[in-house]
Structure 1
Amino acid sequence: MAPTKSRKLAKPERRAQLIETAKEILRECGADALTLGHLAERAGVSKPIAYEHFGTREGLLIALSQEIEDRHTTKLQAALTGAPKELDAVADIISSVYIDCAVDSGEEWQAISGALRGNADMIATQQQQADDYVAAIQAALGPFAKIPADDLRLRCTGIAGAAEAIGRELIRGRTNETAASANLAALIVDSVDV
C-alpha cells in the first residue's frame, strides 16, 4: 500500500491514525517490519511525528498492546452492563467477550508480546493489564461467590490464565469459537460456584 500525504490532525486523532496504520503493518508484514520509520512512511508523516507519539519502537508496541486491552475492557464493561443477575449469564458474557477479542486481535497481541518478550516496560504493562482484567472479572463474579475476596481474586487470576491459554488454542486452530467460549464459561462457573 502506497503512503498517502497526510493532512494536519489534532494530536489524539494523529495518534489514533498511527495506531491503526501500525496494526495494518503488523497484520500484513509482522512485528519485525513494524518500525517507527516504516510507520511514518506508511502513514504519510515525518519520522519526528512518529517518534513524538511513541518515542521508540518498544513504545509503539506497548501502545498497541494497551489499545487492544482497552478495546477488550470497553467491550466487557458494555456487555456486563444490564447483564442478568445469574452466574451462568455473567460467565457466558465474560467468556464470549474474551473469545471475540482473541479472534479480533489475538494474533496481533501474540506478535506484540513476542516482539517485546523480556522488555521491562512491557512486563510492567502486561502485569497492570492482567491486574485490571482480574479486578474486572472479580467485580462481575463477586455477587455469586461464597468464598473470601482474596480467594476469589486468586481464582479470577486462574480464570484469566485459562482464558489466555484457551485463546491461544483457538488462534492455533486447535478448537473453535463455540467450544472455546463454552469451556471457558464452564471453568468460570466451576471456579465460583462452590
Structure 2
Amino acid sequence: MAPTKIRKLAKPERRAQLIETAKEILRECGADALTLGHLAERAGVSKPIAYEHFGTREGLLIALSQEIEDRHTSKLQLALAGAPKELDAVADIISSVYIKCAVDSGEEWQAISGALRGNADMIATQQQQADDYVGMIQAALGPFAKIPAEDLRLRCTGIAGAAEAIGRELIRGRTSEAAASTNLAALIVDSVNA
C-alpha cells in the first residue's frame, strides 16, 4: 500500500491549525508545556514551520492572546449590531458576551497572561487590546451617556477592569455565570447613569 500524501495547507490554514493545536496543548498540559517544538510535533509539522509562523514561544502566546481577543471582539460587534437602542439592552449584551467569552477561554487567557507576565510585547499587546475594548464599549454606551466623552472613557476603562475581575471570580468558581452577567450589566448601567 502506498503511503498517504499529506495535503499541504496554505499559510493562513496552517496558522489556524497551529493555533488550534496550541490551544489543545494549553488546555491539556498548561502553558509550561507549550513550546514551538511540542507544537510542531503535535501538529505533525517540522519545527521550522512553527518558527516561521510565530518566531518564538512568546510570539505564539501573543498570537493565542490576539486570537482570543479577536474572537471576543467579533462576537461583541455582531451582538451590538442588532442591539435595541436601550441602555439596559446594550449593557446586557456587553455583559453577557464578556462573561460567555470568559467561560469559553478564561482559563486559557489566564495561562497565557501568566506565562508572559512582564514580557514587553505582551504588555503592549494587552494595552492595545484594552484600549480597543474600551473604545468599543464607549461607542456602544455613548448614545446613553450624559457625561463628557473623557469621563465616559474613564468609566468604560473601569467597566473593562470590573469585567475582568468578575470573569476571574467566575473562572475561580466563586460565582455563577448568571450572577456574573447580571452584576456586570448593573455596573455598566450604573456607570453610565451616575
TM range (shorter): over 0.9
Percent identical among aligned pairs is: 93
Contact 1:91 1:185 in 2 (8 A): yes
The CA deviation string for residues 153-189 of structure 1, in whole angstroms up to 9 with x for no partner, is 0000000000000000000000000000000000000
The CA deviation string for residues 107-139 of structure 1, in whole angstroms up to 9 with x for no partner, is 000000000000000000000000000000000
How far 1:191 sits from its partner (Å)? Answer: 0.1
Using the alignment, how far apart are the partners of 2:3 and 2:118 within structure 1? 32
Using the alignment, how far apart are the partners of 1:3 and 1:170 within structure 2? 49
The residue number in structure 2 matching 1:171 is 171
Using the alignment, how far apart are the partners of 1:138 and 1:163 within structure 2? 14
Using the alignment, how far apart are the partners of 2:89 and 2:2 within structure 1? 46
Using the alignment, how far apart are the partners of 2:44 and 2:150 within structure 1? 50
How far 1:2 sits from its partner (Å)? Answer: 21
Supply the RMSD in Å over aligned alpha carbons: 2.7
The change in CA–CA distance for 1:26 and 1:86 in structure 2 (over 3 A counts) is same
Using the alignment, how far apart are the partners of 1:180 and 1:17 within structure 2? 32
Structure 1 residue runs of 5 or longer lacking an equivalent are none
How far 1:7 sits from its partner (Å)? Answer: 2.7
How far 1:5 sits from its partner (Å)? Answer: 8.5
Using the alignment, how far apart are the partners of 2:40 and 2:86 within structure 1? 49
Using the alignment, how far apart are the partners of 2:5 and 2:167 within structure 1? 38
Contact 1:54 1:63 in 2 (8 A): yes
The CA deviation string for residues 32-70 of structure 1, in whole angstroms up to 9 with x for no partner, is 000000000000000000000000000000000000000
Using the alignment, how far apart are the partners of 1:6 and 1:189 within structure 2? 54
The change in CA–CA distance for 1:4 and 1:190 in structure 2 (over 3 A counts) is farther
Using the alignment, how far apart are the partners of 1:102 and 1:160 within structure 2? 13
The change in CA–CA distance for 1:151 and 1:2 in structure 2 (over 3 A counts) is farther
How far 1:83 sits from its partner (Å)? Answer: 0.5
Using the alignment, how far apart are the partners of 1:186 and 1:4 within structure 2? 57
The change in CA–CA distance for 1:189 and 1:21 in structure 2 (over 3 A counts) is same
How far 1:3 sits from its partner (Å)? Answer: 16
The change in CA–CA distance for 1:100 and 1:167 in structure 2 (over 3 A counts) is same
The change in CA–CA distance for 1:136 and 1:6 in structure 2 (over 3 A counts) is farther
Using the alignment, how far apart are the partners of 1:98 and 1:193 within structure 2? 21
Using the alignment, how far apart are the partners of 2:73 and 2:95 within structure 1? 13
Q: How many equivalent pairs are there?
A: 194
Structure 2 residue runs of 5 or longer lacking an equivalent are none
